[in-house]
Amino acid sequence: MDWFTEKWTPNINFSVKIKEHIYSETTPFQQLEVYDSFDLGRFFTLDGIMMANEKDEFIYHEMIIHTPMSVNPNIKNVLVIGGGDGGSVRELTRYPSIIKIDMVEIDESVVRACQKYFQVTTTGLTDPRVTMKFEDGLAFVKNTKNVYDLIIVDSTDPIGPGEGLFSMEFYQNCHRILSDDGILINQHESPYFDKESQEMKRAHQKIKVLFPVAKVYQAFIPTYPSGHWLFGFASKKYDPVVDFKEAFIETLGYKTKYYNKNIHTGSFALPNYVIEKLKKI
Ligand code: SAM
């Protein structure tokens, strides 16, 4: 019986027992694999790194979307950078108040493979409000004349195609194309292991220079390195806890599986060692 193994550090492996290796593709940007497993259901990886699995993808996708949407219920135009599995878009399409969702994903192969083999996250991609653009997010934010109320950076780690999505140039352009009360949410790595912790600090250092509000919030994602995962909440105007509209999500008539009003505020309460790391920047 096969195992999928991801190196969390040079000395720690994360392994998942596989039922079936469903699909494999060397795309122009990365190595894409889809597996079926005993304990996580189906999952897909990019360059050997766990991206999303049927068992816990809802945690990441609820936290990256419902947190900003509950701070500014007037969000109308949204940009998703990356997010090729469609999970972020799926959560966004639950909001009738949103009128337009642009998803800029560099690798069309990821979208097509998920539409065929990992459909749990792709249900929102056919929503008429969604426009998919298969190009580099770094170039898109540099050249677009559009204005967005919310930008979601649902990227891979800052290696390979994802590297530019952690650069000062990228964040400056995100700031430029955000409305006056715009919010930027980014996948913010993790405080636990050195590699992700360095990336967390690098990203936070740049974002806090550009945005008056630059907070970090956390979620427990068992299948990401250490399970302690962070998101960045940057805004030109709103504080994610002070301006939290706790009743808004209730108006959706949709029962989330992870996110709730106590999780919203609680996720911004960080452990001291994380606060220290963010302060040291
Ligand atoms: N949403 C998943 C999760 O639960 O964390 C994983 C993130 S999603 C699969 C990451 C996406 O970012 C990939 O599809 C990758 O192709 C895309 N990506 C990486 N670099 C990019 C870039 N420069 N511009 C646009 N998309 C990029």
Q: What is the pLDDT of residue 156?
A: 86
The minimum-distance atom of ligand 1 relative to the CA of 137 is 24
Please say if the pLDDT value at position 137 is more than 80.
yes
Task: Show which of 35, 52, 69 is a domain's final residue.
Answer: 52
**What is the spatial distance between Cα 110 and Cα 106, in angstroms, rounded to a whole number?**
9
Q: Which residues pair with 183 in a beta bridge?
A: 150, 235
Whether residues 156 and 231 fall in one domain: yes
Q: Indicate which residue's Cα is closest to atom 1 of ligand 1.
A: 83
Give catalytic status of residue 2 as yes or no: no
Q: What is the pLDDT of residue 244?
A: 97
Whether residues 100 and 191 fall in one domain: yes
Number of domains in the chain: 2
Ligand 1 contact via 87 beta carbon (within 6 Å): yes
Q: What is the pLDDT of residue 21?
A: 98
How far apart are the CA of 95 and the centre of ligand 1, in A? 22
How far apart are the CA of 87 and the centre of ligand 1, in A? 11
Query: Which of 27, 29, 42, 46 is the pocket-test mutation for ligand 1 (most atoms within 8 Å of CB)?
Result: 46
Cβ–Cβ under 8 Å, residues 4 and 42: no
Ligand 1 contact via 56 beta carbon (within 6 Å): no
* CATH number of the domain to which 149 belongs: 3.40.50.150
* CATH number of the domain to which 28 belongs: 2.30.140.10
What tens digit of pLDDT does each residue of 5-55 get?
999 999 999 999 999 999 999 999 999 999 999 999 999 999 999 999 999
| Residue 197 neighbours by CB under 8 Å, 6+ apart | 189, 190, 191, 277
What tens digit of pLDDT does each residue of 195-207 get?
999 889 889 999 9
Cβ–Cβ under 8 Å, residues 232 and 214: yes
Q: Indicate which residue's Cα is closest to atom 20 of ligand 1.
A: 162
Whether residues 240 and 116 fall in one domain: yes
The minimum-distance atom of ligand 1 relative to the CA of 224 is 5
Whether residues 141 and 20 fall in one domain: no
Whether residues 148 and 13 fall in one domain: no
102: nearest Cα among 152, 142, 67: 152
Query: Which of 30, 107, 163 is the pocket-test mutation for ligand 1 (most atoms within 8 Å of CB)?
Result: 107
Structure tokens at 121: 């996250």
19 CB neighbour count, 10 Å cutoff: 14
Cβ–Cβ under 8 Å, residues 40 and 79: no
Whether residues 139 and 241 fall in one domain: yes
169: nearest Cα among 128, 134, 136, 124: 136
Whether residues 46 and 64 fall in one domain: no
**What is the spatial distance between Cα 192 and Cα 204, in angstroms, rounded to a whole number?**
15
Q: What is the pLDDT of residue 159?
A: 81
Whether residues 144 and 131 fall in one domain: yes
Q: How far is CA 105 from CA 66, 90, 111, 162, 219, in A?
A: 21, 15, 8, 11, 24
What tens digit of pLDDT does each residue of 141-161 get?
999 999 999 999 999 888 888
Whether residues 107 and 198 fall in one domain: yes
Residue type, 62: E
Whether residues 117 and 24 fall in one domain: no
Q: Indicate which residue's Cα is closest to atom 18 of ligand 1.
A: 82
Residue scoring higher pLDDT (3 or 198): 3
What tens digit of pLDDT does each residue of 210-229 get?
999 999 999 999 999 999 99
Whether residues 164 and 253 fall in one domain: yes
Whether residues 191 and 130 fall in one domain: yes
Predicted structure pTM score: 0.97
**What is the spatial distance between Cα 134 and Cα 132, in angstroms, rounded to a whole number?**
7
DSSP secondary structure, the chain, as one string: --EEEEEEETTEEEEEEEEEEEEEEE-SS-EEEEEEETTTEEEEEETTEEEEETTTHHHHHHHHHHHHHTT-TT--EEEEEE-TTSHHHHHHTT-TT--EEEEE-S-HHHHHHHHHH-GGGTTTTTSTTEEEE-S-HHHHHHH----EEEEEEE---SSGGGGGGGSHHHHHHHHHHEEEEEEEEEE---SSSHHHHHHHHHHHHHHHHH-SEEEEEEEE-TTSTTSEEEEEEEESS--TTTT--TTGGGGGT---SS--HHHHHHTT---HHHHHHHHT-
14 CB neighbour count, 10 Å cutoff: 18
How far apart are the CA of 23 and the centre of ligand 1, in A? 18
Cβ–Cβ under 8 Å, residues 162 and 83: no
Q: What is the pLDDT of residue 182?
A: 97
Domain with 79 in it: 57-279
What tens digit of pLDDT does each residue of 228-273 get?
999 999 999 999 999 999 999 888 888 999 999 999 999 999 999 9
Task: Show which of 37, 52, 67 is a domain's final residue.
Answer: 52
